[in-house]
Amino acid sequence: MINEKELFVNTINQLRKDNKNKWYFWTGRVDNKAVQIKGFGTWLQIFKVDNVSIHCVSDLSVKAFKTVLERV
């Protein structure tokens, strides 16, 4: 069974893959937390959870990218 956080990580990773070499955006709720994302590849220029920015460096591996997303 996939939980909400796992579904979120899979959704954002698929969004990243579907928008290769393009900016992508996502806004929604995960585990009753407001989440905002603006990314390019594995770089999350904006990653906010309940309006608190979560730091993310550019040029991450996909594994590290997914680990950052799990911080929700």
Q: So what's the pLDDT on residue 40?
A: 97
- In this structure, are residues 48 and 35 in contact, taking their beta carbons and an 8 Å threshold? yes
Domains identified in the chain, total number: 1
* pLDDT under 50: residue ranges of the chain: 1
Distances (CA, A) of 29 to 18, 21, 59: 21, 26, 26
Q: So what's the pLDDT on residue 59?
A: 85
Q: So what's the pLDDT on residue 69?
A: 95
Mean of per-residue pLDDT scores for the chain: 93
Structural domain for 10, as ranges? 4-69
Q: So what's the pLDDT on residue 2?
A: 58
Q: What is the pTM of this model?
A: 0.91
Question: Cβ of 70: how many Cβ atoms within 10 Å?
Answer: 11
